[in-house]
Amino acid sequence: MGVIGRRDRSDSRASGFLPRRSSLVNTPVPNVTEIPIERANHGGTPDTSGLEPSIHGGSSFRTPTRSFYHRSFKGPQDLAHYSSEGLREQTAELASLALSLPHERSSLPRSLDIFQSKQQTDVAAPSSSYDSTAGDLTIVEPEPIHAPATGSSALTQMIRSPPSESVGDNPDHYGGKLRSNDAAGVQNPRLLYNDGEEENTSTERTSLLNKTSQSKPFHGYGVADDIESQDLLREREQGVQPHALATIRSCLRLIASPKSWDGRAVWQRGVVYPASLLPSVFLGLLLNVLDALSYGMILFPLGEPIFSELGSDGISMFYVSTVIAQLVFSCGGSSFRGGIGSEMIEVVPFFHKMAMTILVRVGEDNPKSVLATTILAFSASSVLTGLVFFLMGTCKLGSLIGFFPRHILIGCIGGVGFFLMQTGVEVSARLSGSLELNAPTLQKLFHMDTLLLWMIPLLLAIAFLVLKRFVRSNFLVGGYFIAVGVVFYIVKFGARVSMDTLRSRGWVFDAPSSSNPWYHFYTLYDFSAVDWSAFVDTIPAMFALTFFGVLHVPINVPALGISTGEDNLSVDHELIAHGITNALSGFAGSIQNYLVYTNSLLFIASGGNSRLAGIMLAFATIGILVVGPVIIGFIPVMVVGALIFMLGIELMEEALVDTWGKLHRLEYLTVVIIVVTMGAWDFVVGIFVGIILACVSFVVQTSRKPAIRATFSGKITGSTVRRPPIQQRFLKEAGQQTLIIKLTGYLFFGTIVSVESTMRGLIEEETFNRRPIRFLILDFSRVYGLDFSAAEAFTRINRILRRRNVQMTISGLDMTSEVGKSLQNVGLLASETGVEVFKDLNSALEFCENDYLKIFYNHREALIRKKSGSSPHREVPVSQNQLQAAEGIVGSPRRLYLQQAATTTLREEETAAMASVAWSAMRQPLPLLLQTFQGMTTKNEDFWFRACPYFDRVCYAAGTVLFQEGDLPEGFYLLESGMLRAEYELPQGRYFELIVAGRPCGELPFFSETRRTATVKAEQDCVAWCLNADKWKQLKEAEPEIAQELLTVSLKLTSERMDSITSYVLTMAA
């Protein structure tokens, strides 16, 4: 069942194409022992590559057939043509052979004789007057159309007819309700329904949807009353900016008129409500302080002497970034009313990378330039991040992150956790440099004084994570670490240890200089001292940092929306807000920030789901910012170290523990490699390594998915052409030499390897001897793309198959699609390759079946000649080369099997053939009835002779519509000559059937008195015998026994078609 695409006749009419190779006319057979596949299988023209340029490509230069890549520089390729030209005519001609008797013809038509040479002969359709004693003659068209002689070539008649008589030239032959054929002078015999004015005749430009009639009332959307009395939310259409301006104007008017104030409302809104938000504000402030101590303080690599005094400056920069983010988000920038903005913890490793790059490039002897360049690089990276965020939100690219592998982000999170573990050791152990795995560093770490410094914070972090599993409270984090600080000072006062002693031994941070206020980091900006070459060296790290931030926001925002139940959420809107806040933070001399998932969730859960709460938190953070540097000198190192260890362990657990068993092995290995690379080597390199590994993992996993969706044999899958029973029996046996392989997915260098190995396995000596194949059909209907490697592989596959004389046939291919263009670019569809291409699998199967039937009827003619003792065609002697070719074909195992199947079929039909001799002397429609119902009934010709008067002979020109889908049945048809096309349009899809001479049409709806399920039209000029409704009624009254037998035969015919259709549908759906 071919899937109908565009309503054209490009796949069924030879007039729609420029002939590439004739499938009906053959050339002389060369002097070889076995005919090449082009002629042994389908009688095509010989391979002339190398002798003359291909007329299909229109080029005069020669190129190798393996690759056509270099040919693209010489201009665009002409669009390849399908191999369907002449296929329908060939099918009809083969069907006519089943109705003809061997003794009635001297030989096969030259178009079907694979041994005849190509000769141009004038074939005129003999005029025959149809005389019927069985019924009245009903001519549909004004001018009589002579039925083609049995066995004559329809392609020859069409070529020799004037162009004006070609049905393909008629633009109305295949569209609309009114099917007319002006060239042939035939009108549709059916009455058409017209629900409008008569002058409104439908044409090819008529709209498919009719205009609304003026006489009918118009029921528009919203005209009826609102049943549920719901207001139309028009204010949402105003947009965010007009709504904000209206709110500001309303507030200003209220402030300007104190007399309109309500004392109770002022008390509730101005005192009570803000006071109710204080607990959540305190929790948010505590979280900000802990974050500032955990990763705000380590913004600079404090282990380096040149940066060792910048811990308080890092905290100040953290607070500035946090305040800006909080104000932007709380003042309407974010959809989350209680969202908390803070510094990205993931930026810390990148900042350390940039600082070390600048330090190495500038040198320690120029600290002013190092500091000026470093802090400028920090703020510039924030501006760059804001710009990228803003552009992504403006361009509606919020969903773009969905194309990035999630396990790479998980690996990067694990790398950040690894980095925080290292930083925790560096900060807690008070190392003078970065953590290095060498003997001096390890010796210092495991010294008793240093061991306690970093081991106690690590144990505190582990204890907190254990406690967190049992205690579910929003105040657990703050309460735990405040308790640690309180216990530390209880021990300090109990032991009476001075602060100077604690600072010298590394238990408390050194007090910052009293001359360094919170805005001290602004004094580090000095554009005259900036080393611009070192600044340029940090640009790759800036982009890597931006890339990492871009990964986070589109993931955190939807996750927070799900957790808080926020439905009115737009990722693009949040990206714009992040772009604004990061750009403002950068221009303010600070660093990146974003909407923190965990802090926001805790803040909202504690009652801070209000924009006022966020604004109050921002002002409280400003207060901490002002007094912050003084507090640094009293903070225990173990508190900060425990916070850093806690964050590092959580991130490592998220990356390596939570994903165990959830990720594919290759994906988990990618995560581990990213973590190790980032921790032991470099953060930026780790990201690129992760991307490369993700690509490799994708290729490996995709390659494991087979590109071959299903494999079928032609013995169980055939075309939907309604062929005579003798042909069906032969094709069922011959079909095992046809192999259908359905390909699927995207074919690339990874998946094409298994396809190519499968093809090679088919023609291996042992496999080929056990099951030789003649046709290999590759179905591309489910292939949506292929790369150059896969396209080149098909050229190799074709060369390999041709060595075994196996015909490659491609189905389900759209020439204008990317797949079709790719195959044309490598030259696979060129004429010299011998590859046949069809729009659908049904046409490809029909082509293969026609080739088998040509062998079948050639073998039948050979048997007849052998019985007669001499060939009737003495005027056309067979050359010695042709005899050698025939002997070579007979010696082929595939040909021998087909001849044996043909002999068996002919022997089984020998009795029917003898009966056909007697039938040939009878007048129609009796011979047609006997041949159509052969094998379906046990009644003889005497019985069916009584049914002949009830059948009327009708003629239909090509393109005439017999009936439409949904029509009431008015007749049951027996096709004497020509071909009909039944098109089915179902909710699941569309398909078609071809009905050839000697087969019935429309039996089930007619006898069951149900509406037509298909639209049937004449594919060629047809002669049919029709049993109409009136005659059927008369037949049931006069001959009830014949009527009962007709019902039985119709059920058998329906069962036969259902088996064929079901087999094909399952094949297509596989």
Q: Would the pLDDT of 614 be above 70?
A: yes
* pLDDT digits 0-9 by tens, 185-194: 334 444 333 4
User: Cα–Cα distance between 224 and 731 in angstroms, integer?
Assistant: 64
Question: How do strand 1022-1028 and strand 979-986 relate by DSSP bridges?
Answer: unpaired
Q: How confident is the model at residue 626 (pLDDT cuts 50, 70, 90)?
A: confident
Asked if the structure places residue 1041 within a domain, the reply is yes
Residues 776-784 have a mean pLDDT of: 91
DSSP E strand stretches across 947-1021? 952-956, 961-963, 971-977, 979-986, 989-996, 1000-1001, 1015-1018
711: β partners: 741
For residue 1065, what pLDDT is reported?
A: 74
pLDDT of residue 515: 64
- Mean of pLDDT values over 772-782: 91
Question: Are residues 653 and 596 part of one domain?
Answer: yes
Q: Is the pTM of this model over 0.75?
A: no
17-29 burial: b if 16+ Cβ within 10 Å, else e: bebbbbbbbbbeb
Tell which wins on pLDDT, 916 or 337: 337
Q: Would you state the structure tokens that stand for residue 224, as one six-digit string? A: 């009826």
pLDDT given at position 52: 35
* Tokens linked to 687: 């990201």
Q: What are phi and psi of 405, to 5 degrees?
A: -60, 130
Count of other CB atoms within 10 angstroms of residue 143? 9
209-248 pLDDT tens trace: 454 444 444 444 344 444 444 444 444 444 445 565 676 7
Most trustworthy range by pLDDT among 472-481, 563-572, 799-808: 799-808
Is the predicted pLDDT of residue 159 greater than 60, yes or no?
no
Q: Is residue 733 part of a domain?
A: yes
Please state the rounded mean pLDDT for residues 865-882: 52
**Most confidently predicted of 59-73, 124-138, 291-305, 373-387:** 373-387
**Pair (678, 569) in one structural domain:** yes
Q: How confident is the model at residue 286 (pLDDT cuts 50, 70, 90)?
A: confident
Vertex 133: Cα angle to 1034 and 973 (nearest 5): 55
- For the chain, the domain total comes to 3
**Residue 807 bridge partners (DSSP):** 775
Whether residue 1029 is found in the same domain as residue 922: yes
Report residue 432's pLDDT band, with 50, 70 and 90 as the boundaries: low
Same-domain check for residues 895 and 970: no
Q: In this structure, are 775 and 818 located in the same domain?
A: yes
Per-residue pLDDT, 109: 63
Task: Give the whole-angstrom CA distance, residue 529 versus residue 96.
Answer: 96
> What proportion of the chain, given as a percentage, has pLDDT over 70?
72
Query: 353 in a domain, yes or no?
Result: yes
Instruction: Report the distance separating Cα 938 and Cα 715, nearest Å.
Output: 28
CA 1047, 1052, 1058, 1060 dihedral sign is: negative
How long, in residues, is the chain?
1070
Residue 891, pLDDT score: 53
Residue 157 lies in a domain: no
What's the average model confidence in pLDDT over 489-509? Answer: 86
pLDDT value of residue 34: 40
pLDDT digits (tens, 9 = 90+) for 596-609: 877 787 788 778 88
* pLDDT surpasses 70 at 648: yes
pLDDT score, position 889: 45
For residues 1018 and 147, the answer to whether their CB atoms sit within 8 Å is no
Residue 5 pLDDT > 90 = no
CA 16 – CA 1058 distance, rounded (Å): 32
Residues forming beta bridges with residue 837, ordered by sequence position? 810
Q: What is the CATH number of the domain that holds 988?
A: 2.60.120.10
Give the Cα separation of 925 and 953 in Å (integer).
8
Note down the domain range covering 610: 272-443+527-634+645-697
Q: How much helix, strand and coil, in percent to the nearest 5, is found in the chain?
A: 55, 10, 35
| Band of residue 948 on the pLDDT scale cut at 50, 70, 90 | very high
When mean pLDDT is compared across 237-241, 441-445, 530-534, 968-972, the lowest value belongs to 237-241
Give the integer Cα–Cα distance in Å for 851 and 841.
Answer: 16
Residue 1045 lies in a domain: yes
Region of poorest pLDDT, from 278-292, 523-537, 615-629, 782-796:
278-292
Looking at the structure, do residues 649 and 767 belong to the same domain, yes or no? no
Q: Identify which of 54, 98, 75, 48 has the alpha carbon closest to the alpha carbon of residue 722.
A: 98
Q: Measure the CA–CA gap between 200 and 206, rounded to whole angstroms.
A: 9
User: Is residue 689 helix, strand or coil?
Assistant: helix
> Would residue 200 count as lying in a domain?
no
Q: 953 and 902 share a domain?
A: no
Residue of 982, 972, 1054, 1061 whose CA lies nearest to 1015: 982
Looking at residue 402, its pLDDT comes to: 63
In this structure, of 374-378, 835-839, 852-856, 1061-1065, the range with the lowest mean pLDDT score is 1061-1065
CATH of the domain at 890: 3.30.750.24
- Mean pLDDT lowest for which of 406-410, 480-484, 997-1001? 406-410
Residue 1062: per-residue pLDDT: 77
Q: Cis link prior to 925 (omega < 30° from 0)?
A: yes
**Does the pLDDT of residue 639 top 70, yes or no?**
yes
Burial of 129 (0-12, 13-18, 19+ CB in 10 A): exposed
Q: Which two tokens stand for residue 540?
A: 């790759």
Q: Rounded distance, CA 687 to CA 678, Å?
A: 8
How high is the pLDDT of residue 618?
A: 94
CA distance 1042 to 964: 28
Task: Flag the least confident range among 723-732, 882-891, 921-930.
Answer: 882-891
Q: Clarify whether residues 855 and 951 are in a common domain.
A: no
Average pLDDT value for residue range 590-594: 92
Closest CA to 794 of 186, 108, 68: 68
Provide the pLDDT for residue 996: 87
Greater confidence (866 vs 998) lies with 998
CA 451 to chain centre: 57
Average pLDDT in the chain = 75
Residue 319 φ/ψ region, left for φ over 0, alpha for ψ in the -120 to 50 degree band, beta for the rest: alpha
Looking at the domain assignment, is residue 70 inside a domain?
A: no
Label residue 108 by pLDDT band (50, 70, 90). Answer: low
The reported pLDDT for the residue numbered 213 is: 41
pLDDT tier at 413, thresholds 50, 70, 90: confident
Domain match, 948 and 1062 both? yes
Chain centre distance of CA 379: 42
Q: Taking residues 84-88, report their average pLDDT.
A: 72
Tell me which of 697, 715, 735 is where a domain ends.
Answer: 697
Report whether 343 contacts 593 (CB < 8 A): yes
DSSP of 78-94, one letter per residue? PPP--TTTTHHHHHHHH
Query: Is 195 a domain residue?
Result: no
pLDDT at 99: 62
pLDDT score for 1023: 93
Are β-strands 836-837 and 807-811 bridged in parallel, bridged antiparallel, or unpaired? Answer: parallel
Q: Does residue 739 share a domain with residue 653?
A: no
Instruction: Give 391's DSSP letter.
Output: H
Q: Give yes or no: residues 296 and 361 share one domain.
A: yes
Q: Which long-range contacts (CB under 8 A, 24 or more apart) does 918-923 make?
A: 920/101, 920/104, 923/131, 923/132, 923/133, 923/134
Q: Which pLDDT does position 760 carry in this prediction? A: 87
Please indicate, yes or no, whether residues 1064 and 961 belong to a single structural domain of this protein.
yes
